[in-house]
Amino acid sequence: MTTQSQTEITIDRTPSSEQLEQFGVFNWPIWTKEVSEFPWTYDETETCYFLEGDVIVTLVNGTPVRMGKGELVTFPAGMSCTWKILQPVRKHYRFG
Q: Domain spans of the chain?
A: 10-95
CATH of domain 10-95: 2.60.120.10
pLDDT at residue 4 above 90? Answer: no
Mean pLDDT of all residues belonging to the chain: 93
pLDDT tens string 43-77 = 999 999 999 999 999 999 889 999 999 999 999 99
pLDDT band with cut points at 50, 70 and 90 for residue 8: confident
- What is residue 71's three-state secondary structure? coil
Residue burial 3-29, b: 16+ Cβ < 10 Å; e: rest:
eeeeeebeeeeebeeeeeeebebeebe
